[in-house]
Each structure stands twice: as C-alpha cells, then as structure tokens.
Amino acid sequence: MRFIPTELKDAHIIELEPREDNRGFFARVWAKDEFAEHGLVDRVVQMNLSYNRLAGTLRGMHFQHAPYAETKLVRCIRGAIYDVIIDLRPDSPTYKRWIGVTLTAANRLALYVPEGFAHGFQTLEDDTEVFYQVSQYYTPSAEGGVRYDDPAFGIEWPLPVTEMSEKDKRWPLFNG
C-alpha cells in the first residue's frame, strides 16, 4: 500500500500496490503493522457497508464525540462517490478546511479519516456501495454532525442532492 498524505493534517489517501498475473491481481487493502508504521490508528472494531440506490444521494457530515471518536478507512466497492472530510480539531493547522476525493470501484482508492474529522459522501452513480472500517463501535449517544451545505465550510458538491436522510438535513450549522 502507498500512503499519500493529503493537504489536511493526518488524513491520507491509500493506494493499492497490486501484484498482477494472468488471473488478475492480488493486493492488501489493510495491514495493521503498515498503518502503525505510518503513525495511523491501527485498530478496527467494526466494518460497515452502505448501499445507495441513486446518484446524488448524500450521507453526512458525521462524526462521533470523544471518548467514542473514530477513525475510518473508506472505500467505494461498487460505483463511485465524492468523499468529503472536514478537519474539526480546533488546534489543528488545517482546522475547518475540507477536501473531496473521488473514490470508485475502478480506482480502488481508500480515504483514511482521522479522529476529529466530519465525514460524508455523495454518490456519483446509481447502485453505489461504500465499505468502511472503523476504530470505534457505533455509539448513538456520541453521534454528531454538521450540515453538508454549511457556509462555514463552503463544500462544493458535484451533483444536485437527490436523496438525504431527515437526520442529515437537521444537523446544525457549525459554531466553532
């Protein structure tokens, strides 16, 4: 795996290093020791799958409050997403900045989302599936979020929003 730092402190894009032959290829998608060597959280306690029927579906912007803050490794295994993270750590040099990364089944990239970041995505194709590895169990009482269209961040989504949960529509504007 190749660990590519992003412009947001501690966030990385993970590229596969496939070993190819006439059958296709084989590649590691996660290795505890390699994540630890790069100073990344190497704990995985839960894996999640999100299926999304329509292009334009938006999920986010989510996080969990301490002591249940989580890291995520996000990969699109079918279709395509525009994956967005926002650094919400007040003492970070990239506080309140965001990036968007296109993750597709074809490019096989993953995005490492550190603790203290909000995360969300918009599907770019119908019938898209997203696979997450997370460092903490989902804890409803620790759930938090910010609005996907909050002017404090100015996220530029690639498509009009076609589907979104009522809960995601009600996240508050950021007041940090």
Residues in Cβ contact with 151 at an 8 Å cutoff, skipping those fewer than 6 apart: 173
Query: Secondary structure of the chain: what % helix, strand, coil (to 5)?
Result: 5, 40, 50
Which of these, 113, 150, 164, lies nearest to 134 by C-alpha position? 113
CA distance 125 to 3: 26
CA distance 90 to 106: 35
Of 12, 62, 119, 148, which residue is the catalytic one? 62
Neighbour order of strands in the sheet with 58-64: 98-104, 80-87, 117-123, 58-64, 143-145
DSSP secondary structure string, 129-150?
EEEEEESS---GGGEEE--TT-
Of 68, 82, 132, 148, which residue is the catalytic one? 132
Q: Does the annotation mark 62 as catalytic? A: yes
Active site residues: 62, 132
